[in-house]
Amino acid sequence: NKQVILTNSVKGSLRESDMSLRTSTICLKIPDGCNGAVLVKNLYLSIDPYLILRMRKTPYLDAITPGSPIAGYGVSKVLDSSHPNYNEGDLVWGSQAGWEEYSLIKDPHNLIKIQDKDVPLSYYTGILGMPGMTAYAGFYEVCSPKKGETVFVSAASGAVGQIVGQFAKLLGCYVVGSAGSKAKVDLLKKKFGFDDAFNYKEETDYDAALKRYFREGIDIYFENVGGKMLEAVLDNMRVHGRIAVCGIVSQYTHEQPEGVHNLLTLITKRVRMQGFIVGEYYHLYPKFLEIVVPRVKEGKMTYIEDVDEGLESAPSALLGLYSGHNVGKKLVVVARE
């Protein structure tokens, strides 16, 4: 069983040497005494920014311990099961896919069976999986959006951002995104239907950029990056605006996150800023699928993936997220079905 192991706890930024490959043996049958377990073959690994937080022991997140395989979201196939809900041959997705060829999942309670296979299977790492649910919960549940409102999304071409922008357009909002290259900005405008977009690495006066796109201010900010972008956004929020704090990826590689100095805006403009974790919203997954699957099939929603082949490419794929190498949802193919 080829595996990618976390070699040591991460401090500050992540290095490729924090992860290493090893091969171990695994029996491809559920061992005796593992009632309720499933044995899976991992197909697609979802490469997600939050993994660095689990590698450095962050409160409220399950730590990945040095010496054990990295594990996260992924799509897998059940090879053997001693759990009544899963059968050999089932395709599943969930948060317990190891960065390894095969995983024995002793407590598979959060594995979701894939019912609709009429869409690319890899979409269950993205638009039909955790990032899709994150966009859905963060936008509809946390932001309480209304038709005609103005929406700003940072890291907008990524796994979550590209979906938030499309939800906002479907609702009839005006939506602008920021991203880190010209190619990404083009995708936002031409592929995902954003009204406008800018490259924050070229236009470094974020305040001026936001004032140009939002003359009347921002009603909703879908926060993916934190730091200086958040400061600039706060100065451009409208009264009674809402900010869904989904992530602050610009700070994940800093040992000491940057401070935000204008939180007084929350008071003066009565802005609601709320963090959320997608894990608390999976009860909405069936409703989410009803909305999104038909739109994907009809081509009313689209999704861009950035795919690497082979388990050994997972460490560099993860590293690349923190400098914006990925264009769209980053995933790694371990095996095809």
The contact set with ligand NDP (CB under 6 A) reads 48-50, 131, 134, 155, 157-161, 179-181, 184, 224-225, 246-250, 276-278, 321-322, 324, 326, 329-330
DSSP string over 53-101: HHHT--TTSPPPPTTSB-EEEEEEEEEEE-STT--TT-EEEEEEEESBS
Query: If you compute the radius of gyration of the chain from its CA atoms, what whole number of angstroms results?
Result: 20
Work out how close the CB of 179 gets to ligand NDP at its nearest, in angstroms, rounded to a whole number: 4
Nearer to ligand NDP, 104 or 248 (CB): 248
Order of strands across the sheet that contains 196-199 = 196-199, 174-179, 150-153, 218-223, 237-245, 272-275
Work out how close the CB of 20 gets to ligand NDP at its nearest, in angstroms, rounded to a whole number: 23
Q: How far apart are CA 73 and CA 48, in angstroms?
A: 8
Work out how close the CB of 102 gets to ligand NDP at its nearest, in angstroms, rounded to a whole number: 25
Work out how close the CB of 269 gets to ligand NDP at its nearest, in angstroms, rounded to a whole number: 23
Nearer to ligand NDP, 39 or 332 (CB): 332
Pairing of strands 38-46, 102-105: antiparallel
Nearer to ligand NDP, 83 or 329 (CB): 329
Work out how close the CB of 181 gets to ligand NDP at its nearest, in angstroms, rounded to a whole number: 6
Tokens in use for 182?
């010209």
At 336 the three-state DSSP class reads: coil
* Nearest residue to 304 via CA among 178, 193, 225: 193
Nearer to ligand NDP, 141 or 235 (CB): 141
Nearer to ligand NDP, 174 or 303 (CB): 303
